[in-house]
Chain A
């Protein structure tokens, strides 16, 4: 169904966002895998993860030609946009990425996720806003289904976190240029 690459700075919630995709995929009966870049990563350094969601058993967990790229900073956009499969989609945080080049053979969607997150009082949830835009533009999962899956991902003792994630997701989903 899709190979997805999520990339950005450490601390932006890239790995969390990737995990929410496979949680939704698994609950939906799909084959899924999630592979983080690992090693000397740290807050502020670059970070990415490969996600596969498919009807067939997953072969390589490493996504080298993504159908969908979620880029949350300029270095990640620059590094990976050329790798996106023709006909694929890139969703980028337009408050941090000003593309030098827009590929004509892929769908490019910007959303000022960091700006929107700050304006709405949850500066750490730009990742959920990005997921909202990704879902709207790719139709990977039904928006309502994914929002509820995201809401359920927070610890039971802290349901307010799930509420905020769901709210941030909705902002990204409903965002129009």
Chain B
């Protein structure tokens, strides 16, 4: 194993991106992800790359659109309000089938909200990153280590499936420091980028990048083709983690930083004789529905825990076809739940008090 370094999550993500061959960063500073842009500004010029601070998130995402069209690995990072501004550009990138990595280090919302950690952009990331029939692969790291290793994976997934991949983190993961090993991600095989609009000295027919299709038959076909790819991703790329779920009566479902806190609560519940387990989706889209459904055969209840008002709750219910009661516990607005609070709700859920 390679040497472990102590880094903030934001810095670890940036370093992992550079190590994955990312040469281009475009972004606009916003708390709590600014260390990421700062790291890129310091490092990329020294490492054969370029970091550019745009005048707004709208510009940054359109710079990503252009950079992605050349086939270069590129990344932008922002926090919640910034993602809303990027929405139009993200949809164009999806419509043009271009790979890139988007980072949302979430803070409390809506509006300017606050600057403390939140997970209240779940619905936006899963369902509404851009207009139109679309999906984006969404990865939810739960440690500084995963901020790094899932970034390498995000670039690979984006390139393999020609679509944006989002890292959905939060302020705590961005700001906290933990040991990180950059050797943890094994790069995957990437198909040749025959679609890229780069220089070719007239060696081939020129490529066109476009998301405008006036004829509805033609547009429908592009969407259908894309959804075939989405089906392949749903089949092959689901990632999740489990802890003590085999014999669990109550399965806590949580992702990101909340999953770690829930894990402590599960351990506390076990010490008190409650058969609790933890299911942690790592890919939020594609959601690990099948794996969760399998647990509904043995578990008697599910508890969805998030730093929001219950945005994943519906996905858990859908995954298990409402076969068992599903409750929600969350803190929002920048508040981080404590293990004790989660334990109270685990007890409620096993008590049948829904």
- Chain A residues with CB under 8 Å of chain B are 19, 22-23, 26, 32-36, 38-39, 57-62, 64
* B-chain residues with CB within 8 Å of residue A23 when the two chains form the complex: 6
User: In whole angstroms, how far apart are the Cα atoms of A19 and B6 in the complex?
Assistant: 9
The answer to whether B178 touches A33, judged by C-beta atoms less than 8 angstroms apart, is yes
Q: Can you list 18 A-B pairs, Cβ within 8 angstroms, ordered by A?
A: A19-B6, A22-B6, A26-B4, A34-B176, A34-B177, A35-B175, A36-B176, A38-B32, A39-B115, A57-B260, A58-B260, A59-B260, A59-B263, A59-B339, A60-B257, A60-B261, A60-B339, A61-B178
B342 CB to nearest chain A CB (Å): 10
Specify which of B6, B176, B179 is in contact with A61 (CB 8 Å cutoff): B176
User: In whole angstroms, how far apart are the Cα atoms of A161 and B247 in the complex?
Assistant: 55
* Chain B, 239-275, CB within 8 A of any chain A CB: 257, 260-261, 263-265, 267
User: In whole angstroms, how far apart are the Cα atoms of A34 and B261 in the complex?
Assistant: 15
User: In whole angstroms, how far apart are the Cα atoms of A34 and B144 in the complex?
Assistant: 11
B349 within 8 A of A: no
* A-chain residues with CB within 8 Å of residue B177 when the two chains form the complex: 19, 22, 33-35
The answer to whether A38 touches B178, judged by C-beta atoms less than 8 angstroms apart, is no
A4 CB to nearest chain B CB (Å): 14
User: In whole angstroms, how far apart are the Cα atoms of A62 and B170 in the complex?
Assistant: 14
User: In whole angstroms, how far apart are the Cα atoms of A36 and B8 in the complex?
Assistant: 10
- Over the window 169-181 of chain B, the binary record of Cβ atoms lying under 8 Å from chain A Cβ atoms (1 yes, 0 no) is 0011001111100
A10 CB to nearest chain B CB (Å): 15
* Chain B, 336-352, CB within 8 A of any chain A CB: 336, 338-339
The answer to whether A32 touches B179, judged by C-beta atoms less than 8 angstroms apart, is yes
* A-chain residues with CB within 8 Å of residue B336 when the two chains form the complex: 60, 62
Specify which of A19, A32, A38 is in contact with B171 (CB 8 Å cutoff): A38
* A-chain residues with CB within 8 Å of residue B31 when the two chains form the complex: 38-39
Interface size range of chain B in the complex: 20 to 34
The answer to whether B257 touches A26, judged by C-beta atoms less than 8 angstroms apart, is no
List the 10 closest A-B pairs by CB distance, nearest first. A59-B264, A34-B177, A35-B176, A60-B261, A61-B176, A59-B260, A33-B178, A62-B336, A39-B115, A26-B179
The answer to whether B175 touches A36, judged by C-beta atoms less than 8 angstroms apart, is yes
* Most central of B115, B171, B175 by chain A CB within 10 Å: B175
* B-chain residues with CB within 8 Å of residue A33 when the two chains form the complex: 176-178
User: In whole angstroms, how far apart are the Cα atoms of A62 and B331 in the complex?
Assistant: 14
* Most central of B116, B175, B177, B263 by chain A CB within 10 Å: B177
User: In whole angstroms, how far apart are the Cα atoms of A58 and B339 in the complex?
Assistant: 12
The answer to whether A64 touches B338, judged by C-beta atoms less than 8 angstroms apart, is yes
- Over the window 295-308 of chain B, the binary record of Cβ atoms lying under 8 Å from chain A Cβ atoms (1 yes, 0 no) is 00000000000000
- Over the window 112-136 of chain B, the binary record of Cβ atoms lying under 8 Å from chain A Cβ atoms (1 yes, 0 no) is 0001100000000000000000000
B266 CB to nearest chain A CB (Å): 9
User: In whole angstroms, how far apart are the Cα atoms of A73 and B172 in the complex?
Assistant: 25
Specify which of B172, B264, B265, B339 is in contact with A35 (CB 8 Å cutoff): B172
* A-chain residues with CB within 8 Å of residue B338 when the two chains form the complex: 60, 62, 64
User: In whole angstroms, how far apart are the Cα atoms of A36 and B178 in the complex?
Assistant: 12
Given the known inter-chain contacts A59-B263, A62-B336, please indicate yes or no for A26 contacting B176, CB distance below 8 A: no
The answer to whether A34 touches B178, judged by C-beta atoms less than 8 angstroms apart, is yes
Instruction: Find the A residue at minimum CB distance from B260.
Output: A59
* A-chain residues with CB within 8 Å of residue B260 when the two chains form the complex: 57-61
* A-chain residues with CB within 8 Å of residue B339 when the two chains form the complex: 59-60
User: In whole angstroms, how far apart are the Cα atoms of A38 and B32 in the complex?
Assistant: 8
B27 CB to nearest chain A CB (Å): 18
B299 CB to nearest chain A CB (Å): 21
* B-chain residues with CB within 8 Å of residue A35 when the two chains form the complex: 172, 175-177
- Over the window 153-174 of chain B, the binary record of Cβ atoms lying under 8 Å from chain A Cβ atoms (1 yes, 0 no) is 0000000000000000001100
* Most central of A23, A36, A39, A57 by chain B CB within 10 Å: A39
* B-chain residues with CB within 8 Å of residue A38 when the two chains form the complex: 31-32, 115, 171, 175
The answer to whether B172 touches A39, judged by C-beta atoms less than 8 angstroms apart, is no
* Chain B, 263-296, CB within 8 A of any chain A CB: 263-265, 267
User: In whole angstroms, how far apart are the Cα atoms of A32 and B177 in the complex?
Assistant: 8
B336 CB to nearest chain A CB (Å): 5
B49 CB to nearest chain A CB (Å): 26
* B-chain residues with CB within 8 Å of residue A57 when the two chains form the complex: 260, 263
User: In whole angstroms, how far apart are the Cα atoms of A152 and B31 in the complex?
Assistant: 31
* A-chain residues with CB within 8 Å of residue B265 when the two chains form the complex: 59
User: In whole angstroms, how far apart are the Cα atoms of A16 and B129 in the complex?
Assistant: 38
A159 CB to nearest chain B CB (Å): 20
Given the known inter-chain contacts A19-B177, A38-B31, please indicate yes or no for A61 contacting B172, CB distance below 8 A: yes
The answer to whether A61 touches B4, judged by C-beta atoms less than 8 angstroms apart, is no
